[in-house]
């Protein structure tokens, strides 16, 4: 059981490609609310991190997606993108969200997909350069929530990698 003020042990760096199922299991232990978020699957595609989620755990009083829960998911997805990117570089560092915003475009009425990627194509390269020069860095990511072909939510966040 997690205790306030006690950091959760870091997941060891992978010897090869990260096992996303093992990472998700660790994430559920490290951040207890993750197990209630409805994440069914985590996958990677060419610099993009994707979650498939169930709507049921995130229902609001109107029977659609709860904005606060969806916001937490977009923020955490960005954190995961940076953490997994660092792991592929062989780096163990703390990641924090520095700034985040959301724009709700349509109600979330069914199971959905969250997609996260850097705002700019060369953002990961610039983050690597910042880490080499300063030992810390920052990256801007964008998250989109899709119900089928409908874009329901756009979010963005700046994530800081600490020394």
Rounded average pLDDT over 40-64: 97
Do the Cβ atoms of 118 and 141 come closer than 8 Å? yes
Q: What is the pLDDT of residues 111-136, one digit of tens each?
A: 999 999 999 999 999 999 999 999 99
Whether the pLDDT of residue 1 is over 90: the answer is no
**What's the pLDDT score for residue 16?**
83
In a domain, 14, yes or no: no
In a domain, 79, yes or no: yes
Output the CA angle 157-162-163, nearest 5 degrees: 160
**What's the pLDDT score for residue 2?**
84
> Integer distance in angstroms from the first to the last C-alpha of the chain?
28
Assign residue 96 the CATH number of its domain: 3.10.129.10
Do the Cβ atoms of 120 and 140 come closer than 8 Å? yes
Domain count, the chain: 1
Rounded average pLDDT over 81-106: 97
Q: Structural domain of residue 33, as residue ranges?
A: 20-161
Query: Kind and range of the H or E element at 115?
Result: strand 112-118
Residue 13 — very low, low, confident or very high, per pLDDT cuts 50/70/90?
very high
Closest CA to 73 of 41, 42, 51: 51
Whether the pLDDT of residue 150 is over 90: the answer is yes
- Average pLDDT score, the chain: 96
Q: List the beta bridge partners of residue 53.
A: 39, 112
In a domain, 154, yes or no: yes
**What's the pLDDT score for residue 87?**
96
Structure tokens at 54: 């169930």
Rounded average pLDDT over 78-94: 96
């Amino acid at each position: 059981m997690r205790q306030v003020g006690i950091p959760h042990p870091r997941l060891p760096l992978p010897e090869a490609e990260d096992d996303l199922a093992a990472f998700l299991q660790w994430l559920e232990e490290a951040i207890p609310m993750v197990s209630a978020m409805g994440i069914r699957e985590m996958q990677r595609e060419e610099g993009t991190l994707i979650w498939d989620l169930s709507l049921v755990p995130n229902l609001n009083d109107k029977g659609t997606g709860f904005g606060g829960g969806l916001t937490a998911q977009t923020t955490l997805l960005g954190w995961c993108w940076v953490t997994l990117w660092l792991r592929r570089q062989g780096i163990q560092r703390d990641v924090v969200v520095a700034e985040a915003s959301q724009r709700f475009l349509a109600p979330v009425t069914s199971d959905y997909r969250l997609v996260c990627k850097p705002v700019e194509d060369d953002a990961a390269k610039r983050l690597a350069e910042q880490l080499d020069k300063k030992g810390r860095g920052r990256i801007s990511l964008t998250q989109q929530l899709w119900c089928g072909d409908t874009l329901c939510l756009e979010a963005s966040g700046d994530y800081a990698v600490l020394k």
